[in-house]
């Protein structure tokens, strides 16, 4: 009994040390660094516009209600605008706002010449029809890229504005010099925001793409054959480290807050790091890229459509 107790106490210490010190072989893809470089380039382009007497790009962000997480995201986006010299408008509407009033607000921004990008922070309260509101945004100002017009352009291989998170992932792959042509890529999660447009981005670049979702029968089997895995589900540790093929690239889009307050992704990071060649951390991976590509889209909208 005494011996068993001793082993139980010692084992976690040994295994934790082993994982951290001995086994980490993957290189980290540093989203903070890549996003900072992108923001710096955007700022230079905006300064050039201003020097030429052109308008700074303008982004309007609509927040409905007081969801704390949404407030944090909106404030991050407003701060990012300041950092790259954009004009920003933060519009806060009551939880009880009607569909008609919200549509009218979007329509007003559609006609505002100082605004090049409009973003409606999701999720919206249940009484509102998000699809109708997102489709009300003029496609030329749809910098979050949720409008069927912009998704359709991506599907037809002629993207202009591109969904921020998958676009950010593609820039991360560029930053490590990774061409995905011919790679076996597995996207886990099939949402409109992450999985589906991610699959289209990879397909556009010539990858062979499998999309897994909650009805997929054997997730481990798909993941273990992939050269590149992109995971966006929202379940901590869903993708087991042991499933990762040696040398594969792992992009973890998931952001989950654990009961202890820590943020974590959807992939078992430590074990996956032993097998992967490259891996993104959470936090500090895809998250900062999503805000930076929103800025990039807003600049592109200003340069392309105004």
In whole angstroms, give the CA distance from residue 160 to residue 303. 11
Nearer to ligand NAD, 117 or 189 (CB): 189
Nearer to ligand NAD, 108 or 214 (CB): 214
Closest approach, Cβ 216 to ligand NAD, in A, equals 6
Catalytic residue selected from 77, 141, 205, 245: 77
Whether 77 is catalytic is yes
Whether 144 is catalytic is yes
Q: How buried is residue 261: exposed, middle or buried, by Cβ count under 10 Å (0-12/13-18/19+)? A: exposed
Catalytic residue selected from 144, 227, 252, 266: 144
Interface positions with ligand NAD (CB under 6 A): 165, 188-191, 193-195, 212-214, 216, 219, 232-235, 238, 253-256, 286-287, 290
Are the C-beta atoms of 242 and 222 separated by less than 8 Å? no
Nearer to ligand NAD, 159 or 168 (CB): 168
Closest approach, Cβ 196 to ligand NAD, in A, equals 8
| Residue 296 tokens, joined | 């990039």
Catalytic residue selected from 121, 141, 142, 252: 121
Q: How many CB atoms lie within 10 A of CB 61?
A: 22
Q: Point out the residue whose Cβ comes nearest to ligand NAD.
A: 191
Cα-Cα-Cα-Cα dihedral sign, residues 172, 177, 179, 184: negative
Nearer to ligand NAD, 23 or 32 (CB): 32
Nearer to ligand NAD, 115 or 272 (CB): 272
- Residue among 167, 173, 171 at smallest CA distance from 150: 167
Closest approach, Cβ 9 to ligand NAD, in A, equals 34
Closest approach, Cβ 282 to ligand NAD, in A, equals 8
Closest approach, Cβ 192 to ligand NAD, in A, equals 7
Cα-Cα-Cα-Cα dihedral sign, residues 32, 36, 39, 41: negative
Which residues are tagged catalytic? 77, 121, 144
């Amino acid at each position: 009994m005494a011996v068993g107790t001793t082993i139980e106490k010692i084992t976690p210490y040994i295994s934790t040390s082993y994982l951290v010190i001995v086994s980490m072989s993957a290189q980290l893809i540093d989203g903070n660094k890549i996003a900072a470089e992108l923001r710096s380039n955007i700022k230079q382009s905006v300064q050039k516009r201003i020097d030429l007497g052109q308008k700074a790009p303008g982004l309007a962000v609509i927040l409905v209600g007081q969801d704390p997480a949404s407030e944090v995201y909106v404030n991050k986006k407003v701060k990012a605008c300041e950092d790259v010299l954009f004009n920003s408008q933060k519009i806060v509407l009551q939880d009880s706002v009607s569909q008609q009033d919200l549509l009218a607000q979007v329509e007003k921004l559609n006609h505002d010449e100082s605004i090049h990008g409009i973003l409606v922070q999701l999720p919206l309260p249940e009484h509102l029809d998000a699809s109708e509101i997102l489709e009300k945004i003029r496609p030329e100002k749809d910098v979050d890229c949720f409008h069927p017009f912009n998704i359709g352009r991506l599907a037809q291989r002629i993207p202009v504005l591109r969904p921020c998170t998958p676009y950010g992932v593609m820039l991360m792959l560029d930053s490590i010099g990774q061409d995905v042509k011919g790679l076996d890529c597995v996207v886990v999660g099939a949402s409109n925001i992450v999985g589906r447009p991610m699959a289209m981005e990879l397909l556009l670049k010539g990858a062979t793409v499998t999309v897994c979702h909650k009805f997929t029968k054997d997730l481990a089997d798909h993941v273990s054959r992939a050269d590149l895995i992109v995971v966006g589900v929202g379940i901590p540790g869903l993708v087991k480290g042991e499933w990762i093929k040696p040398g594969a690239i792992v992009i973890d889009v998931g952001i989950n807050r654990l009961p202890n307050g820590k943020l974590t992704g959807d992939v078992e990071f430590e074990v996956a790091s032993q097998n992967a060649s490259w891996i993104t951390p959470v936090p500090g991976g895809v998250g900062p890229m999503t805000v930076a590509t929103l800025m990039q889209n807003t600049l592109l909208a200003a340069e392309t459509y105004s």
